[in-house]
Amino acid sequence: MVEIDHGCKCPGNPLLPQICKVIKITEETPDVKTFRIQTLDGKKPFTPLPGQLAMISVLNVGEAMFSLTAQGDDWIESSIKRVGFLTEALHNLFEGDLVGVRGPYGNHFPTEELKGRDILFVGGGIGLAPVRSFIRHAIAHRKDYGELDVLYGSRSYGDLVFKEDIFDHWPKACNTHITIDIEEDGWDGHVGFVPSYLEEKAFSPEGKAVVLCGPPIMITFCLISLAKMGFSKENVITTLEMRMKCGVGKCGRCNIGSKYVCLDGPVFTMAELEDLPDEQ
Amino acid sequence: MKIKKDKFKDALASIAKEAKVFLPMKGVYASEYRVWDGAGEPFFERNTALPPKELLFPRSERMYEYDLNAGTVTEAAPDEKIVIAGIRPCDVRSVEHLDKVFLESEYTDVYYRARRENLTMIAYGCATPAPTCFCDSMDVVPTDAPGADVVMNDAGNSYVLTVNTPKGEHIRDLISSFLSEGKADDVPAVSCSLKVEKPDDLHKQLIARFDDPMWETLSDACLGCGCCSYICPTCYCFDIGRENRGKTGTAFRCWDSCMFSDYSRMAGGHNPRPTKKERLRNRYLHKLAYFPERYGTSLCVGCGRCIDKCPARLDITNVPDIIQGSESNG
Ligand code: SF4
Ligand code: SF4
Ligand code: FES
């Protein structure tokens, strides 16, 4: 059983953003860009734990909560899909432009608790973004973990995010299984939806934990598949999304029952989610 | 300690020399806690229509200024000293609840803290609860307010004062020339006419009935106007927005209501609480179940404002009544 511990506190005014600079923008897919962010004096804004969130703002437009997908010595990175007003404004930024950043918020993936275990990372579409922080952590601490599998799928080749990672870097340290929904010219990899690929691969639940993130419909079917394969709810971990404003459990926006996703989440085991009111 | 009623305003004037004094007063549209101008009469007949939360958690509050040309953000730091003279025990309790959220939980809210440290509360013990008041069912004693700095009770031609805190002692010192010794006659006990019976495990029973059809029935008449949250002394949900002038501007927060349809709608359109049923359930459960689970106490103080003012006549006390009813029916 995986226990998920709670997020850390940031000192000072938790609602006040730091002004930071976008130092690199990577176009992942037609509607996903990755933003690498650094403080104005060239430092890392803060050190998030894998799975934690940050409130990112275009100061004269608005702010929203995003997962942090990676970090280096002097930067943090977030991959953002264009879905609305603010994300549109983010997508219109250029390298060198300023953003506001506050965080890190929420709990994190159980990196300690899963030491010594096999981990199966399952992602769909942009859902690989939060999972990537844990995959990178696991690869950086490779000997702490058992077998690592990454199963990732998207609509088309063009919609696969982090191509360098999934095709070049990660295969050196884990087993990667990449799939796209519909056949297309030039793709000789697997074709099919993530849940069916999961069943095809017939992963053994023995000693294995699953980290699962993606669109709700994919999660629903993956859960059915994982249950069939014998994975228990305690060993399936996911992240939730809710609308957020404050990030610190005050504005009331992101509650599910008495839990705040910004504070008690975003990482939950399926067993924990089952105990919450069905309002996601 | 006592103060003659005809000296009350003189005492307020002494306090007003060093702090902004707020009194319950009649307004053009509704009674509320208003800045005392040195002459206005207090309105003590019944509790104010509007809650005092605005003084700690303004309906719209500047948080910081940003300047994208200079690459700076500048934090607002509220520093005004405020004394509320005549806040009701239910409203004092509401401040204690807000303290739990803004001061005592995982993160401290610096704006609230600044206002709270600068606030002194002189409570006014309730002698005449309104027909919608049910604070004594919600663990508030109408005539006492342990969370206030000073408590005053009506005793005919004078008010009896009890000092609870160092801030209260300071008030006593400021107005000492108007005070007379004298042990108070016992303040007569006051009982609300509206009673709510609730089982000890109300929060558990409510959560167990999350999918109950009662939420549909209860919310049937709700207009989604949000009035209940605005006038509730303990509703503290807020939105964050900005007033932009090109590359500079102000970020502010303002009251919000979980009764509004776009409250939890996400970018992309998904709304986890799509109809008034889910929204009313969330408001009631937040008061009576989620807050008790998280903070160990109910978030409703029984002030009755939402019952009094709801245009659709919704009544939060129906919720415990239903649970209690189904309990006694077996
Ligand atoms: S005041 Fe009444 S009608 Fe308005 S949102 Fe609240 S419950 Fe609904
Ligand atoms: S829920 Fe209604 S009765 Fe309870 S504190 Fe709020 S306004 Fe008063
Ligand atoms: S975002 Fe404000 S409570 Fe979670």
| All structural domains of chain B with their residue ranges | 2-57+77-186, 202-234+258-329
- Domain ends where: A105, A132, A154? A105
In this structure, the answer to whether residues A124 and A231 fall within a common structural domain is yes
Determine whether the shortest distance from the Cβ of A12 to ligand 3 is under 6 A: no
Residues A153 and A227 in one domain: yes
Low-confidence ranges of chain B (pLDDT < 70): 183-185, 264, 266-268, 327-330
Q: Is residue A111 part of a domain?
A: no
Residue A89 is assigned to a structural domain of this protein: yes
- Identify which of B233, B190, B194, B193 has the alpha carbon closest to the alpha carbon of residue B317: B194
Q: What CATH number is associated with residue A59? A: 2.40.30.10
Q: Do B110 and A13 touch (CB under 8 A)?
A: yes
Same domain, A124 and A225: yes
For position A49, what pLDDT does the model report?
Answer: 96
Query: How many angstroms separate the CA atoms of A279 and B145, rounded?
Result: 37
| Candidate from B46, B194, B288, B303 with most ligand 2 atoms within 8 A of CB, to mutate | B303
Q: Are B36 and B22 in contact (CB under 8 A)?
A: yes
Q: Shortest CA distance to A105 belongs to which of A80, A130, A75, A123?
A: A130
Tell me, yes or no, whether A10 and A40 share the same domain. Answer: yes
Nearest C-alpha neighbor of A114 from the set A245, A220, A5: A5
Q: With 80 as the cut, is the pLDDT of residue A9 above it? A: no
Position A256 in a domain: no
pLDDT tens-digit readout, A51-95? 999 999 999 999 999 999 999 999 999 999 999 899 999 999 999
Show which of A105, A130, A155 is a domain's final residue.
Answer: A105
* C-alpha to C-alpha distance for B62 and B85, rounded to whole angstroms: 26
Q: What pLDDT sits at residue B306?
A: 92
Number of domains in chain A: 2
pLDDT digits (tens, 9 = 90+) for A207-247: 999 999 999 899 999 999 999 999 999 999 999 887 889 99
Cβ–Cβ contact B22 with A under 8 A: no
Is residue A227 included in any domain, yes or no? Answer: yes
With beta carbons under 8 A apart, name residues in chain A contacting B258: 252
Asked if the structure places residue A252 within a domain, the reply is no
- Give A98's contacts in chain B (Cβ within 8 Å): 68, 71
| Same domain (yes/no): A78, A156 | no
| A169 and A233 belong to one structural domain | yes
A8 pLDDT band (50/70/90 cuts)?
A: very low
CA A5 to chain B, closest CA, distance in angstroms equals 14
pLDDT of residue A59: 94
CA distance A175 to chain B (A): 33
Q: What is the pLDDT of residue A223?
A: 92
Residue A140 maps to which CATH number?
3.40.50.80
Interface contact B264-A253, CB threshold 8 A:
yes
Ligand 3 centroid distance, CA of A244 (Å): 5
What residues form DSSP beta bridges with A39? Answer: A20
Residue A15 CB less than 6 A away from ligand 3: no
Q: Is residue A268 part of a domain?
A: no
Give the distance (Å) from ligand 2 centre to CA of residue B53: 12
Q: Encoding tokens for residue A134?
A: 């844990």
Q: What is the ipTM of this complex?
A: 0.87
Same-domain pairing of A72 and A146: no
| Average pLDDT, rounded, for chain A | 92
A264 shares contact with chain B (CB less than 8 Å): no
What pLDDT does residue A4 have? 41
User: Is A16 an 8 Å CB contact of chain B?
Assistant: yes
The ligand minimizing its distance to the Cα of B280 is 1
Q: Is A7 in the pocket of ligand 3 (CB under 6 A)?
A: no
Please report residues of A whose CB lies closer than 8 A to that of B73: 16-19, 59, 100
* Residue A170 belongs to domain spanning: 118-239
Kindly report, residue by residue over B39-87, the tens digit of the pLDDT: 888 999 889 999 999 999 999 999 999 999 999 999 999 999 999 999 9
Asked whether residue A223 falls in the same domain as residue A141, the answer is yes
Residues A142 and A181 in one domain: yes
Q: Which residues pair with A152 in a beta bridge?
A: A123, A178
Shared-domain flag, residues A66 and A95: yes
**A26 assigned to some structural domain:** yes
In a domain, A76, yes or no: yes
Regarding whether A85 and A18 lie in a shared domain, the answer is: yes
Nearest CA-CA distance, residue A205 and chain B, Å: 32
Instruction: Single out the residue in A105, A126, A147 at which a domain terminates.
Output: A105
pTM here is 0.91
**Tokens standing for B127?**
């002698």
User: Is there a single domain that holds both residue A233 and residue A124?
Assistant: yes
Residue A206, H or E segment = none
Of B241, B54, B173, the residue nearest A60 (C-alpha) = B241
